[in-house]
Structure formats: structure tokens, C-alpha cells
């Protein structure tokens, strides 16, 4: 959460000569991060990002307290000023106006205080107050409401003011909302309350307050108000947070309450409010203080050893210096036997629990920027690298140098894409809270997104795209308590029907990975085939309906089957006899089968490769080679005749003479 902090307001609580820039530097390096300094007139306003663990910094006073601790480290003197209001006593009245309070759910409200003022004069606030509110981002309304906003900004304690005469029968019942209840809030909105929301009901059963979030319109202060009921509480942060989320309403007050407002901070705010009501509204206290606080927070003590401090910081720190730092931050400390025991100030009660928390305080004020940078020197872990990373990089690089371009597409795809691809929804994983209709399902295949990626471009350019990414399938176990399968796949696509290019790339990938595979027709598909290794399906390839060519490989499996092992064969001592044979084959003769048959004719055929095709003429280059002797023309002729016979018998193909 970001807050706006005027420099001039800070100076009311802090005596220092540090300039706004110097303050910003000290805060950013040692405390909370100053995002910006805005100049407003001759004042400077800091925009500060407050981390969730430091609600105590969500106030002018909180920031002044931090500055008092960190500025001296930058050689700027700084002293937090005492607030005289905090020593004033709340007047005890003889005749108190009545207020009957019932807490039905005390755990939701650890501390409940209320005080009634009479003779309140409704008017605009003085210019100084209005100016400060404006710089801090809140519009001034009237002196009564302004007091509550002013104190929320200054002390971090939200509070609310009711018109006392609008609380029927001077009775308040705090309880959790029931399903279906409604309230009209100060901003004129009718809000349907989510069950469990903390509310106040008056003696007539009307809901007068949406506690910690916003007041009810029916009890709001206006120019006729004479008697004000001031209301200062702390609430269960989780319930405030839940209600805000469910009702989509997050006010300044609620943002503070949901991060935690300490019950011990309630009374200082009450005391300063009493003073401000007197000076700004001419008001008099007209009731006894209601203060329901059944379980006062006990201050806690955390102990840390110097050994631990030095170990975590990496440099030795003098124990006295560490102690001084903690004292500056409001901790009461005792040192004994190289240990500091620190009593946590109430405003840090939730944040400080462990020795590490104290070390953070000591280290940040010392200045992380003052610590040296050292590479760790411990033993290196003995681990074996997952080979999939090396393969992934190697194959991606190969594809790049073969002219392919890598794309990265979202793992999340639309309902429409799921339908187009013909996937069964029960074989896919669905997002229960999608951000948009484009991202609803986790994709079980890469191809549809690759096609979409190719179609993003002008169709006149030849595109070769590939992607390597996980695909997702629900786990096959019967129960649902198993994570889905995430398989790494590699898919490639050319936006032209160039099947033999994609096949060639698939073959080259397999060769590079040392894998022998078989390409077979895919049953039921005319234009697609399957890639098998030991009869196990590891991929598909073919042409799509929109005349593109693709391959799609199970890369996780390929990595398991891959091998970098090579075998050395001494070169043959005899030269091969090389000749070309051209066959005229009938249409739809499977070339792969034909080649296999030719190769199997005789072990002296070392290699058969297709060198040319023309219509139904296929030209093969044959390498005949015997290990120990030179083959004669007669030897070759014998084998050749066997080939011609076989090919004719099996494929009805003829040698072209």
C-alpha cells in the first residue's frame, strides 16, 4: 500500500535539518521505499510504498519514528518530538450521556472504545488541517469528519464519528451480519452484506455501521449534529479482509484494519481526538469512556545472540551498537552474556517474533549497502545435471540453424480453440477463475497455438515455427489428489504442405539424439503418420487440413531414449562399387518399404539411397561392398538381378533400361 507523507507534517513530529532528498535516501535504503517525491507549493510530499508487515508505518508518526532511527546513520541528527496530547487525561464527567454496548462476537473486536461529545460546532476545518489532508490525498469535508481522517493519517488509527442522536435508544449491538442483510453506506451505496461481516445495530434494529470499512448513512454526521459519538476500535484483520474482498469495497480505513491495527494504539488516538474536538469544534466530553478490552496484549520479549547476529550479517557488529539501534526503534533492551533480550514495542507486536526479526532491524539500520559482497565458499553440492536441459538447448539451437524460428505461446487457451482442436474437456485442465475467455484451459497439445501463431502473419511468407513447452493432462489416478502430468513436447510447423521438409527435420532430430525410429501411417488418417520407437508412440507428423505440415514429438520420452554414445568402425579396406538403378513403380508404392526390401536382398549391399524421383521413376544409388575383396562385375550383377526380381515380385516395379 502506498501512502502520501508531506515533509512539513513530518517536521511537526521530528526535529531534524535533513532535506526531503536526504530523508528519501535514508528511508529507501534502511526502511520503507520512497517511490517519488512530489513538490506541492513549497512543500515536498513523499509517496512511500509500505510493505504488508509494517502497518505501523502507515502513518506520518510511524514514518517520523523510522526517520529518527535511520537518519543518524547518514550523519543527520534527528529527534522524535513528544506529543503533549498523549499526556492529557480524558476528563471524567459527572453526568454521562447513556450508551449501552453489547459485543456479540468479542473475538472480532479485541478493543472497543467510544466517547460522546456535546456542544459540537459543525464548521470547516482550519486551513492547515485542510492543506495537510489534501496533500495526503484526502478531501476535507467538515471539522468533525476531518478529525477522524487527520488522526488516521497521522497516527495510523482509523476511527469513525456518528451523530449520537441518530443512534436509536443509545444502544449499540456489535455482531456478525446474517445472509441477505443490507446497509446504505456514507457514499450512498446500498451494500449487500456478506455473512460474517462485522456490523453495529442500534436500539431500533437498524444497521448503523459497516465496522472498519464505512459508516452507515442513517447515523452520519451533518450540519445539524450537536452530539458526536466517537468510535475507535481494533478488529480481527482476517474478517475485515474477507468482507472487503466479498463486497469489493476497500476503503483507506479497511486497508489499515486488514493489515492489523494494534489495540494498544487506540488510547493515544483517543487522547489526541479529545484535544482536537475541544480546539476544532469547541466540544465538551459528555460521557464516560467506554473501553472494552478484555484481553490486553502482553508485551513480548525476543532474545538474540551476538553470534547469530554476526553469522547472519556476515560481519561482526558491536553488541552495544546493536542495542542502541533497537532502542532507537522503541525496543526496551537488556544485554547479558552476549545476548540481547528485546521487549517489542506495541506497534511492532505482530511483526517481531523471532531472533531473525531482530537481526533484520539491526542490519537494515546498519545499512545493507554498508555490508560487503562475498561469494560463498562452502562445498559444492554433488548433483547430476538433468540431461533434458542440455538436449533442450542442443535441439533448439539445431532448429535455429536449420532455419526455424522459435515461438513462445501461452499455456492457457480459449474454449474455442479446445473445440476446434476436438479435445475432450474431461482430458483437459480448466482454470476455475479465468482472467479472460482467451485463457480458460491448459493446452494438451502445442499444435493449435502454433497454427494460430503462424496465421498471425501474412500468408505469402513461408514460416517455419517451432515451440518446446509443457502440455498438461489430468492425472489418470482415480482420486483427484494427484498433480496433472506435465510433458515436455517439441512441435514444428510450416505454413505450406511441405511434408518431406518436416519429416526430414524430425529425422534429423532423432539422428542428433542417437535414436532409431520408425515412421508408419497413422491408422484412420490419410495425411498423417506416427513415429514409433520399439513400438512405442513418441510423435506424429503430417499435413493439416489447412495445408500446413507439422511434426509433434514427445520430448520427455526422447530425452529418456537419447544416447550420445558412438561406435567406432574401422574404414573398409576395399572400395565400394557404386551404381544407380532406376525403377518404374506403380502409383502409391511405399518408398520406405521398397528401400527396405532392396537393402535386405544381400548383406553386401551396404547402403541404398534415393537420389532422384521423376513421375513414377525412382532412382536409387546402391553401394556394394565386401569387407575383404573387390567385387567383380559378375558379383554385382548377381546381386542386381536378385534385386530386380524381388522388386518386381513384391511391388510390380520394373527396372528402366
Partner 1 sequence: MDLNKIQNLKNQAISGILEVNSASELERLRIAYLGRRGELNELLKQLGQLPTNQRVEAGRQINDAKQAIEQTLQSQKNSLPDSSKINDWLDITAPGKKPALGHLHLISQTIEEIAHIFEKIGFQRVRYPEVEWDWYAFEGLNMPPEHPARDEWETFFIDNLHHPKLGRGVLTPHTSSGQLRQMEAQKPPLRMLNIAKCYRRQADASHAPMFYQFEGLLVDQNIAITHLKGVLAYFAKQYFGPNRQTRIRPFHFQFTEPSFEFDVTCIVCNGKGQIEGKRCPVCKQGWMELGGSGMVHPTVLKNGGIDPEKYTGFAWGWGVERLFMMKYGIDDIRLLFGGDLKFLEQF
Question: Which parts of 596-615 interact with partner 1 (CB under 8 A)?
Answer: none
Residue from 464, 489, 543, 640 in contact with partner 1 (CB under 8 A):
464
CA 493, distance to chain mean position in Å, is 32
Look at residues 238, 229, 157 and name the one whose alpha carbon lies nearest to residue 200.
229
Residue from 33, 415, 619, 646 in contact with partner 1 (CB under 8 A):
33
Cα separation, 35 vs 5, whole angstroms: 12
CB-based contact 558:538 (threshold 8 Å): yes
Judged by beta carbon, residue 180 or residue 379, the one nearer partner 1 is 379
Q: Which three-class secondary structure state does DSSP give residue 105?
A: coil
In the complex, what is the shortest distance from the CB of residue 108 to partner 1, in angstroms, rounded to a whole number?
14
DSSP letter for each residue of 305-364: EHHHHHHHHSS---HHHHHHHHHHTT-EEEEETTEEEEEPPGGGTTT--SHHHHHHHHHH
- Asked if 262 is part of the footprint of partner 1 (rule: CB under 8 A), the reply reads no
C-alpha distances (whole Å) from 607 to each of 528, 595, 621 are 27, 10, 8
Q: Which three cell numbers stand for residue 518?
A: 520408425
CA 569, distance to chain mean position in Å, is 55
In the complex, what is the shortest distance from the CB of residue 289 to partner 1, in angstroms, rounded to a whole number?
31
In the complex, what is the shortest distance from the CB of residue 344 to partner 1, in angstroms, rounded to a whole number?
15
C-alpha distances (whole Å) from 344 to each of 105, 111, 464, 600 are 28, 20, 64, 86
- Asked if 249 is part of the footprint of partner 1 (rule: CB under 8 A), the reply reads no
- Roughly what angle, to the nearest 10 degrees, separates helices 319-328 and 355-366? 90
Residue from 16, 32, 243, 530 in contact with partner 1 (CB under 8 A):
32
Judged by beta carbon, residue 147 or residue 254, the one nearer partner 1 is 254
Cα separation, 247 vs 338, whole angstroms: 52
Judged by beta carbon, residue 472 or residue 551, the one nearer partner 1 is 472
Residue from 75, 336, 385, 535 in contact with partner 1 (CB under 8 A):
385
- Asked if 405 is part of the footprint of partner 1 (rule: CB under 8 A), the reply reads yes
DSSP 459: T
Q: Which three cell numbers stand for residue 472?
A: 498438461
Consecutive H or E run containing 371: none
Across 140-157, b (16+ Cβ under 10 Å) vs e yields bebbbbbbbbbbbbbbbb
- Asked if 371 is part of the footprint of partner 1 (rule: CB under 8 A), the reply reads yes
Question: Which parts of 272-331 interact with partner 1 (CB under 8 A)?
Answer: 311-315
Question: Which parts of 46-65 interact with partner 1 (CB under 8 A)?
Answer: 51-54
Cα separation, 34 vs 25, whole angstroms: 8
Binding residues for partner 1, total number by CB under 8 A: 99
Judged by beta carbon, residue 28 or residue 341, the one nearer partner 1 is 28
- Asked if 360 is part of the footprint of partner 1 (rule: CB under 8 A), the reply reads yes
CB atoms within 10 A of CB 78: 20
In the complex, what is the shortest distance from the CB of residue 549 to partner 1, in angstroms, rounded to a whole number?
16
In the complex, what is the shortest distance from the CB of residue 439 to partner 1, in angstroms, rounded to a whole number?
6
- Asked if 349 is part of the footprint of partner 1 (rule: CB under 8 A), the reply reads no
Residue from 74, 122, 402, 423 in contact with partner 1 (CB under 8 A):
402
Question: Which parts of 625-644 interact with partner 1 (CB under 8 A)?
Answer: 630, 632-633
- Asked if 399 is part of the footprint of partner 1 (rule: CB under 8 A), the reply reads yes
Q: Give the total residue count for the chain.
A: 657
Q: Which stretch binds partner 1 (CB under 8 A): 120-128, 172-180, 416-424, 476-484?
A: 476-484
Residue from 178, 430, 564, 649 in contact with partner 1 (CB under 8 A):
430
Phi, psi of 264 (to 5 degrees): -70, -15
- Asked if 501 is part of the footprint of partner 1 (rule: CB under 8 A), the reply reads no
Cα separation, 192 vs 258, whole angstroms: 20
- Asked if 381 is part of the footprint of partner 1 (rule: CB under 8 A), the reply reads yes
Q: Which stretch binds partner 1 (CB under 8 A): 2-10, 163-171, 290-298, 435-443?
A: 435-443
Question: Which parts of 547-576 interact with partner 1 (CB under 8 A)?
Answer: 574-575
Q: Which three cell numbers stand for residue 480?
A: 483427484
Convert residues 509-548 into a mask of x (bound to partner 1 by CB under 8 A) and - (unbound): ----------------------------------------
- Asked if 457 is part of the footprint of partner 1 (rule: CB under 8 A), the reply reads yes
Residue from 182, 400, 547, 564 in contact with partner 1 (CB under 8 A):
400
Q: Which stretch binds partner 1 (CB under 8 A): 157-165, 321-329, 360-368, 582-590?
A: 360-368
Judged by beta carbon, residue 85 or residue 357, the one nearer partner 1 is 357
Residue from 187, 204, 321, 406 in contact with partner 1 (CB under 8 A):
406
- Sign of torsion, CA 385 389 395 400? negative
Amino acid at each position: 500500500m502506498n501512502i502520501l507523507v508531506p515533509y512539513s507534517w513530518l517536521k511537526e513530529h521530528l526535529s531534524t535539518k535533513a532535506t526531503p532528498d536526504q530523508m528519501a535516501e535514508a528511508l529507501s535504503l534502511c526502511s520503507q521505499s520512497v517511490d517519488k517525491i512530489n513538490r506541492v507549493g513549497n512543500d515536498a510530499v513523499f509517496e512511500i510504498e509500505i510493505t504488508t508487515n509494517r502497518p505501523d508505518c502507515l502513518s506520518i508518526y510511524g514514518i517520523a519514528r523510522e526517520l529518527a532511527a535511520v537518519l543518524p546513520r547518514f550523519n543527520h541528527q534527528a529527534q522524535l518530538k513528544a506529543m503533549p496530547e498523549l499526556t492529557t487525561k480524558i476528563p471524567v464527567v459527572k453526568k454521562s450521556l447513556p450508551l449501552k454496548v453489547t459485543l456479540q462476537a468479542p473475538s472480532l473486536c479485541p478493543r472497543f472504545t467510544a466517547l460522546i461529545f456535546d456542544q459540537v460546532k459543525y464548521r470547516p476545518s482550519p486551513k492547515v488541517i485542510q492543506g495537510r489532508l489534501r496533500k495526503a490525498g484526502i478531501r476535507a469535508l467538515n471539522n468533525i469528519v476531518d478529525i477522524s481522517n487527520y488522526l488516521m493519517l497521522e497516527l495510523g488509527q482509523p476511527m469513525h464519528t456518528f451523530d449520537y442522536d441518530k443512534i436509536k435508544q443509545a444502544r449499540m449491538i456489535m455482531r456478525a451480519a446474517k445472509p441477505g442483510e443490507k446497509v446504505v453506506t456514507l457514499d450512498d451505496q446500498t451494500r449487500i452484506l456478506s455473512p460474517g461481516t462485522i456490523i453495529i445495530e442500534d436500539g431500533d434494529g437498524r444497521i448503523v455501521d459497516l465496522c472498519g470499512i464505512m459508516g452507515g448513512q442513517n447515523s452520519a454526521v451533518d450540519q445539524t449534529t450537536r452530539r458526536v459519538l466517537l468510535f475507535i476500535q481494533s478488529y480481527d484483520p482476517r474478517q475485515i479482509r474477507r468482507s472487503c474482498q466479498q463486497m469489493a469495497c476497500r476503503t483507506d480505513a479497511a486497508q489499515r484494519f486488514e493489515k492489523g491495527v494494534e489495540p494498544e494504539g487506540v488510547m493515544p488516538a483517543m487522547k489526541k481526538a479529545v484535544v482536537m474536538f475541544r480546539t476544532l469544534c469547541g466540544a465538551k466530553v459528555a460521557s464516560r469512556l467506554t473501553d472494552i478490552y478484555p484481553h490486553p496484549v502482553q508485551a513480548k520479549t525476543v532474545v538474540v545472540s551476538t553470534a547469530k547476529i554476526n553469522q547472519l550479517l556476515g560481519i561482526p557488529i558491536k553488541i552495544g551498537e546493536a542495542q542502541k539501534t533497537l532502542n532507537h526503534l522503541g525496543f526496551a533492551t537488556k544485554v547479558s552474556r552476549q545476548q540481547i533480550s528485546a521487549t517489542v514495542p506495541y506497534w511492532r507486536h505482530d511483526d517481531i517474533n523471532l531472533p531473525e526479526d531482530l537481526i533484520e532491524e539491526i542490519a537494515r539500520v546498519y545499512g545493507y549497502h554498508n555490508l560487503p559482497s562475498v561469494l560463498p565458499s562452502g562445498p559444492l553440492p554433488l548433483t547430476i545435471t538433468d540431461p533434458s536441459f542440455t538436449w533442450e538447448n542442443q535441439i533448439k539451437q539445431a532448429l535455429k540453424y536449420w532455419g526455424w524460428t522459435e515461438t513462445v505461446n501461452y499455456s492457457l487457451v480459449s474454449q474455442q480453440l479446445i473445440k476446434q482442436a476436438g479435445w475432450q474437456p474431461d482430458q483437459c485442465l480448466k482454470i476455475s477463475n479465468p482472467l479472460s475467455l482467451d485463457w480458460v484451459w491448459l493446452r494438451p497439445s502445442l499444435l493449435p497455438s502454433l497454427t494460430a501463431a503462424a496465421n498471425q502473419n501474412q500468408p505469402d511468407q513461408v514460416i517455419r515455427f517451432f515451440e518446446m513447452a509443457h502440455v498438461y493432462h489430468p492425472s489418470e489416478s482415480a482420486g483427484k489428489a494427484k498433480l496433472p502430468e506435465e510433458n515436455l513436447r517439441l512441435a514444428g510447423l510450416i505454413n505450406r504442405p511441405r511434408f518431406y521438409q518436416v519429416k526430414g527435420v524430425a529425422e534429423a532430430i532423432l539422428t542428433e539424439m542417437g535414436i532409431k525410429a520408425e515412421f508408419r501411417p497413422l491408422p484412420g488418417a490419410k495425411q498423417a503418420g506416427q513415429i514409433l520407437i520399439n513400438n512405442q508412440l513418441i510423435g506424429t507428423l503430417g499435413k493439416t487440413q489447412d495445408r500446413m505440415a507439422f511434426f509433434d514429438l514427445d520430448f520427455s520420452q526422447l530425452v529418456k531414449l537419447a544416447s550420445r554414445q558412438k561406435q567406432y568402425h574401422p574404414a573398409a579396406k576395399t572400395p565400394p562399387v557404386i551404381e544407380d538403378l532406376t525403377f518404374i513403380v506403380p502409383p502409391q508404392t511405399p518408398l520406405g518399404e521398397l528401400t527396405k526390401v532392396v537393402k535386405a536382398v544381400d548383406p553386401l549391399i551396404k547402403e541404398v539411397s534415393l537420389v532422384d524421383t521423376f513421375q513414377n521413376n525412382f532412382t536409387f544409388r546402391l553401394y556394394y561392398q565386401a569387407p575383404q575383396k573387390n567385387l567383380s562385375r559378375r558379383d554385382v550383377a548377381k546381386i542386381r538381378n536378385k534385386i530386380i526380381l524381388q522388386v518386381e515380385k513384391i511391388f510390380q516395379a520394373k527396372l528402366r533400361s
